[in-house]
Amino acid sequence: MESPIKIAVAGAGFGRKVALPAYTELDEFEPVALWSRRPERAQALADEAGVALGSSDLEEVLAFPGLEAVHVATPVVTHVQFALAAAERGLHVLCEKPLAGNLHEARRIAAAVQAAGVVGMVDYEVRMKETRRRLIEHAREVVGTPRMASVSLVQSDHADPDSRPYTWVHDARMGGGRLQGYGVHDLDLLLEVFPTVEAVVAATDVGVPVRTSAEGDLHPVTADDAYALVLRFSGGGLGVVTLVATARHDRGDVIELYGDEGTAKLDADRRVWWGRRGEELRCEGPFDDGFDEAFKRVARNFWAAVRTGASPEPSLEEGLRVQAVFDAARVADVERRWVRPEPSRSSPDRRARSTSPSSVKYVVANWKMYPTVGEALGLFEAIQDGLSAQARAGHALPMPIICPPFVALVPIRGVVDERLVRLGAQNCHWEHKGPYTGEISAVMLKGMVDYVLVGHSERRLVGETDEHVARKVSAVVEAGLVPIVFVGEDAPTGEGIRQSEERLRQRLSQVELADHTVLVVYEPAWAIGAAHPAEPEHVREAVEHLKESLRRLGAARPEVLYGGSVRRDNVERFAALEVLDGVGATRGSLDAEEFLDIVSWMAGNGPAAS
């Protein structure tokens, strides 16, 4: 046998309880490090597991001598930080499911793994259970095209407030919930047999609204413990996926797949039934249904992909496929309508992808109070058409985030193609609701945008303080959105960068950066609207300082953009800064052709017209 893979496990939940013991038992692996968010627990848990290093410092873990791979088993919303940090160091990545907090982040993981030339996999281990493996095999043989598919799970492990202690899986902000815990496995199974979903509608519920933590405190539960999904398959046929985790009496999983050619079923006693039309159903089982052996199959596949070049299974492509349907289901739940999943890759027309770091950079357009609704809609459509043309020409694209005035969000939301561009809001209030005339909360923006600008220096003109900004950042992450936080000094003095770092610390004081994605824009007030932006060398130094501050605050992969008079005629200088994760523009974004040039420069393609 080839030598074992030296692997680190990030996460003290599933990672420590299931993955780490499995790696210890398997000859194919040598677990060498464990990451845990709490420093005081990290080394103690590592010692308990017989692992050399336990740390809350991701950089220390990734720098372990001889490390080859990382298993990411942190809260879902942090997967992108850990996976990108590992891939950028040339480490192979096995990521827990779902692949990321949303499809955009999942695509970033896949692109980073591809660019690094390493192996990437997603842990859909439930399909590796013997029951489901046999069901999938027989379904492919006999079912044909779908007519009706159903997956029904009934569990009792969450029936009471103290039946399961409160953890991140009960917090919607962290990507928790049974839909992400179990539902994605069932979507994975259905997509293995019927790979194309045309549309989905969904509903979720919280049956037990409070839970007791391990410390004995009561916490409100915001993540679902029951769900129902209806899928419409392309070409015909329906699928129904349901779970209740708060039943008083549980039952084994029941899966029934009916097609035009035959039937395949899994009953509650772990027996598999199958047959073609005109035949009596045959039966085999009952089978072992253990998680541990199923995970070991995934781990061995990971080893084979790394050591022998075998095809990864489950692959990141399969993870993206599930992510697209999962994201559509979450939108459908919020908006109470049928939702068509996005193509799992960035664009069906995109024939080429850049493997350079610039392919995942951001370009943020803050339109402030400039365009009317009609002007904003026309400008947006012109930009989106231009992005589509660049994609069809085979150009890689960064992630444009357009932040129109509030009144333009609804019409623009109706025409946005999220394969090409994402929407952001320019501000929000720190309260979820209340007697605040003229204000909009982050909760109201959920389902409308993915990002919210917070703390722009112009907000200080209406009395906004760093304390207000900190509360807004907290409200945005609580709503499951990504804050784009502005920091910068007031004057170009020697103390300016330190002022920006202090502002950053205050504005992020109410969030755990290890648990959330936050984008930071370095935008010195003296450069806003100025004839000349900050010099690239000054920007590089400021961004490096801010990234180091973010690491000290717990960010696994700090991301910092530059904003301040970015235009078509100067963006090339900023695109050349490898330390920079993107740029923000206002006047440079109010003309479609100029903004498309900025986007193209940030993708490493030169001006769009060339």
What Å distances lie between residue 6 and 52, 518, 575, CA to CA? 11, 31, 36
In the chain, the amino acid numbered 439 is E
Cα dihedral 554→555→556→557 (10° resolution): -160
Catalytic-labelled residue, pool 71, 104, 185, 456: 456
Q: Are 522 and 550 in contact (CB under 8 A)?
A: no
Residue 590 has φ and ψ, to the nearest 5°, of: -90, 0
Pairing label, strands 262-266, 251-259? antiparallel
CA distance 236 to 532: 58
Output the CA torsion sign for 334, 335, 339, 342.
negative
CA distance 352 to 369: 36
Q: Which residues on neighbouring strands pair with residue 205, listed in sequence order?
A: 226
Is 79 marked active-site? no
In the chain, the amino acid numbered 148 is M
CA distance 364 to 586: 9
Pairing label, strands 582-585, 69-72? unpaired
Strand (E) or helix (H) holding 400 = strand 399-403
Catalytic-labelled residue, pool 68, 318, 523, 559: 523
Secondary structure of residue 235 in the 3-state scheme: coil
Q: Where are the strands (E) in 417-529, listed by range?
A: 422-425, 451-454, 482-487, 519-522
How far does the chain reach from its first CA to its final CA, in angstroms? Answer: 52
> Considering only CA atoms, which of 391, 352, 417 is closest in space to residue 114?
352
Output the CA torsion sign for 591, 592, 593, 598.
positive
Q: From the DSSP assignment, how many helices (H) and strands (E) are in the chain? A: 19, 24
Q: Where are the strands (E) in 300-398, listed by range?
A: 362-366
Burial class from Cβ neighbours inside 10 Å (0-12, 13-18, 19+) for residue 199 reads middle
Is 456 marked active-site? yes
Q: Are 24 and 49 in contact (CB under 8 A)?
A: yes
Residues with active-site annotation: 456, 523
